């Protein structure tokens, strides 16, 4: 009896068909779609979160402008007193959105001046000062606004040097008794690193068209000619500061120059009142009340103007909050600590760095 043997299977053929390899593209496409949906939902939640926070704090968004927000501080009549903050080191350096704090401040003041329902403006100042030219621009903005409607300054925690300079553009200064103000003067600094270079074996070669072209260079000692030139510039800028203060406080430049209060020292709000450097001591509510008196707008509403936060700024802040379960951190280093350069004259209380 013959046994049946199946024919041999060719070695190059598998007894079973090979499984078909699946493409990864559908998975990638699905992942992209899901990420897009998640990103969209996250933005929607962020927007509603920001709006809910604004509503909770009593914010009302202005229909008259797309560049700033209104927050009702004190409800009252249809007439209003506008509160605008001037906070941080004063600088004309642009921020991420391309504008500077001076630009933003100017826009808010102009909006208040051009609104007929706004009867007066209170500028709350919390600043150690900053750049000379930026401080002078702020003073001019306030002074020009005050020519059209009353502008009052409220000096908060610190309103020193350029902060006080800017305040002198207003017609009335109210300071909290514990405010640090004054610091009337100019400071200009240069870092010297020649000895450090010598220790490191590094040297600097300079080719210049004139002896003072590399003024205040940190690679060498300061020459007597440089010292004379810089002191002349500092004294000229200091005299301008005294002229601004003299005009606001009804004092002479000579009287101020001889006063110990103009040697760069800071003093309290109570000391400033005793010396006639401010008009009153009190709280910001007292400044509101006095603004209503000057504008003959008793019972007016008090509204804070602030720059409008952009769409992507809201999302960025919300995303930052998502990284921390307990707190929201917003980077404002460019506003509070701008790029103040060596060798630049400043109306700045030195501890403001």
Q: 92-149: per-residue pLDDT in tens?
A: 988 767 788 999 999 999 999 999 999 999 999 999 999 999 999 999 999 999 999 9
What pLDDT, on a 0 to 100 scale, did the predictor assign at position 22?
61
Q: Are 331 and 118 in contact (CB under 8 A)?
A: no
Check: pTM over 0.75? Answer yes or no: no
274 has pLDDT over 50: yes
pLDDT, average across residues 192-209: 85
Give 309's DSSP letter. Answer: P
User: Is the model more confident about 188 or about 325?
Assistant: 188
User: Is the model more confident about 312 or about 128?
Assistant: 128
Active site residues: 161, 213
Strands 68-74 and 59-60: antiparallel
Q: Give the C-alpha separation, 339 to 94, whole Å.
A: 10
Cα–chain center distance at 148: 26
Mean pLDDT across the chain: 81
As given in the structure block, the two tokens for residue 87 are 């906070």
Q: Report helix, strand and coil shares of the chain as percent, to nearest 5.
A: 40, 20, 40
Label residue 206 by pLDDT band (50, 70, 90).
confident
How far is the first Cα of the chain from the last one, in angstroms, to the nearest whole number?
Answer: 108
As given in the structure block, the two tokens for residue 149 are 């409607």
User: Is the model more confident about 33 or about 19?
Assistant: 33
Label residue 294 by pLDDT band (50, 70, 90).
very high
Angle (CA) 272 236 164, round 5°: 25
User: Is the model more confident about 40 or about 107?
Assistant: 107
pLDDT, average across residues 242-254: 96
Label residue 328 by pLDDT band (50, 70, 90).
very low
Taking CA atoms, 22 is separated from 25, 26, 27, 305, in Å, by 9, 9, 10, 59
Q: Which of 113, 115, 101, 120 is nearest to 166 (CA)?
A: 101
Q: Which of 173, 83, 69 is nearest to 123 (CA)?
A: 83
pLDDT, average across residues 166-174: 98
Instruction: Name, in order, each residue with C-beta under 8 angstroms of 237's C-beta and a sequence gap of 6 or more.
Output: 132, 186, 345
Q: Are 166 and 142 in contact (CB under 8 A)?
A: yes
Q: Give the C-alpha separation, 285 to 178, whole Å.
A: 16
65 φψ region: left (φ > 0), alpha (ψ -120 to 50), beta (else):
beta
What pLDDT, on a 0 to 100 scale, did the predictor assign at position 60?
41
Label residue 4 by pLDDT band (50, 70, 90).
low
pLDDT, average across residues 323-344: 43
Lowest average pLDDT, out of 67-71, 148-152, 154-158, 245-249, goes to 67-71
pLDDT, average across residues 16-22: 59
What pLDDT, on a 0 to 100 scale, did the predictor assign at position 15?
56
335 has pLDDT over 50: no
What pLDDT, on a 0 to 100 scale, did the predictor assign at position 61?
36
């Amino acid at each position: 009896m013959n046994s049946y043997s199946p024919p041999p299977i060719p070695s190059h053929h598998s007894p079973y068909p090979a499984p078909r390899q699946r493409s990864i593209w559908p998975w990638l496409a699905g992942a992209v779609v899901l990420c897009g949906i998640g990103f969209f939902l996250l933005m929607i939640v962020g927007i509603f979160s920001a709006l809910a926070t604004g509503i909770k704090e009593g914010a009302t968004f202005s229909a008259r402008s797309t560049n700033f927000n209104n927050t009702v501080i004190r409800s009252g009549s249809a007439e209003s007193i506008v509160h605008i903050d001037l906070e941080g080191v004063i600088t004309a350096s642009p921020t991420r959105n391309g504008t500077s704090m001076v630009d933003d401040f100017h826009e808010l003041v102009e909006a208040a001046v051009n609104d007929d329902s706004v009867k007066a403006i209170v500028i709350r100042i919390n600043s150690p000062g900053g750049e000379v030219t930026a401080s002078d621009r702020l003073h001019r903005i306030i002074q020009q606004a005050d020519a059209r409607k009353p502008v009052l300054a409220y000096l908060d925690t610190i309103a020193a040097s350029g902060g006080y300079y800017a305040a002198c553009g207003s017609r009335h200064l109210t300071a909290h008794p514990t405010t640090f103000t004054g610091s009337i003067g100019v400071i200009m600094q240069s870092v010297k690193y020649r000895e450090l270079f010598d220790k490191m074996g590094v040297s600097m070669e300079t080719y210049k068209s004139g002896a003072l072209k590399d003024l205040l260079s940190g690679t060498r000692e300061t020459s007597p000619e440089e010292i004379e030139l810089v002191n002349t510039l500092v004294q000229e800028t200091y005299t301008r500061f005294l002229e601004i203060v003299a005009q606001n406080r009804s004092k002479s430049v000579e009287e101020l120059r001889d006063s110990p209060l103009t040697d760069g020292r800071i003093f309290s709000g109570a000391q400033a009142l005793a010396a006639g450097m401010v008009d009153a001591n009190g709280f910001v509510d007292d400044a509101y009340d006095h603004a209503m008196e000057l504008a003959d707008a008793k019972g007016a509403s008090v509204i804070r103007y602030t720059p409008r936060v952009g769409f992507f700024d809201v999302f960025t802040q919300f995303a930052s909050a998502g990284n921390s379960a307990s707190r929201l951190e917003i980077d404002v280093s460019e506003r509070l600590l701008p790029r103040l350069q060596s060798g630049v004259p400043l109306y700045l209380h030195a501890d403001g760095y």
